[in-house]
Amino acid sequence: MKDALQVFTRGFVSENPVLKMLLGLCPVLAVTTTAENGLGMGLATTFVLLGSNTVISASAKLLPKTVRIPAYIVVIATFVTIVDLLIKAFSPELNQSLGLFIPLIVVNCMILGRAEAYASKNGIGYSIIDAFGMGFGFTFALLLLSAMREVLGAGTIFNIPLVGEDPKTILVMALPPGAFAGLGFIIAGLNALEKKQKSNA
Distance CA 144, CA 7 (A): 22
In the shown chain, the binding pattern of residues 32 to 51 toward other proteins, with x for contact by CB under 8 A and - for none, equals: -x------------------
Q: Decide if residue 92 touches other proteins (CB under 8 A).
A: yes
Size of the site for other proteins (CB under 8 A): 27
Beta carbon of residue 55, minimum distance to other proteins (angstroms, whole number): 9
* Site stretch for other proteins (CB under 8 A), options 70-78, 124-132, 140-148, 191-199: 70-78
* Site stretch for other proteins (CB under 8 A), options 16-24, 68-76, 109-117, 179-187: 68-76
Please say which residue, 4 or 104, places its beta carbon nearer to other proteins: 104
49, 112, 148, 154: which one contacts other proteins (CB under 8 A)? 154
Radius of gyration of the chain (CA): 18
Q: Which residues bind other proteins (CB under 8 A)?
A: 33, 62-64, 66-67, 70-71, 74-75, 77-78, 81-82, 85-86, 88-90, 92, 153-154, 166, 169, 171, 174-175
